[in-house]
Amino acid sequence: MRVLYEGAIFQILRCGGVARYFTELIRHLPQDCQPTVVGPAAEAPEFSNPRLSYRGVQTDPPVSWLRKLTRERMQRRIGQQFDAVDAEIEHWTYYSGLCRRSIRRGNRPLIATVLDFVHEAVPSLDPSGKHIALKHAAIRTADHLICISQSTHDELCERFPDCRGKASVIPLGTSLSDVTPAALPAALTDKPYVLFVGRRNSYKNFQVVWKAWNRLGGALPQEAKLVMVGPPMKRREATQLQWRDDGSAILMPNASDALLRTLYERARAFVFPSKAEGFGLPSLEAMAAGTPVMVSDLPVMREVAGDCGYYFDPDDVEMVAQMLRSALTDTLPNKQAIIQAGRRRAASFQWQSTAKRTAAVYRAVAEQTKTSSDNRSSDNRLCVA
Cα angle 202-207-213, degrees, rounded to a multiple of 5: 160
Domains and CATH numbers, the chain: 2-173+351-379 (3.40.50.2000), 176-347 (3.40.50.2000)
Q: Comparing C-alpha atoms, which of 202, 204, 120 is closest to residue 155?
A: 120
Angle (nearest 5°) at CA 284 between 45 and 341? 145
The neighbouring-strand residues paired with 312 are: 296
Give the Cα separation of 55 and 118 in Å (integer).
32
Q: Measuring CA to CA, which residue among 21, 10, 17 is closest to residue 349?
A: 21
How many residues does this entry show for the chain?
A: 385
Instruction: Provide the edge-to-edge strand list for the sheet that holds 34-40.
Output: 53-57, 34-40, 2-6, 89-92, 110-114, 144-147, 167-169
C-alpha separations of 51 from 28, 54, 64, 173, 211 in Å: 11, 10, 35, 21, 49
Q: Is 227:250 a contact under the CB 8 Å cutoff?
A: yes
Q: Is the pTM of this model over 0.95?
A: no
Task: State the pLDDT at residue 113.
Answer: 98
The least confident of 183-187, 221-225, 239-243 is 239-243
CA separation (Å) from 43 to 14, 18, 33, 103?
Answer: 7, 15, 23, 21
Q: Residue range 24-52: average pLDDT?
A: 90
Reduced to 3 states (helix: H, G, I; strand: E, B; else coil), residue 196 is strand
- Check whether 79 has a pLDDT greater than 90: no
Given a cut of 80, whether residue 269 has pLDDT beyond it is: yes
* Range name among 66-75, 97-106, 184-193, 351-360 with the lowest pLDDT average: 66-75
Mean pLDDT for the chain overall: 91
Alpha helices in 90-190 (DSSP H): 118-121, 130-141, 150-159
Using pLDDT thresholds of 50, 70 and 90, give the confidence band for residue 373.
low
Residue 178 pLDDT more than 80?
Answer: yes
User: Which candidate, 300, 370, 361, places its Cα nearest to that of 112?
Assistant: 361
The conformation of residue 41, written as its DSSP 8-state character, comes to G
Element (H, E) at 34: strand 34-40
Amino acid letter, residue 70: T
At 161 the pLDDT is: 98
Q: What is the pLDDT of residue 328?
A: 97
Q: How far apart are CA 208 and CA 212, in angstroms?
A: 6
Give CA–CA dist 28/110, Å, rounded.
20
274: closest CA among 301, 241, 296, 294? 296
DSSP 8-class letter at 65? G
The pLDDT tens digits of the residues spanning 292-338 come to 999 999 999 999 999 999 999 999 999 999 999 999 999 999 999 99
318 with 185: CB under 8 angstroms?
Answer: no
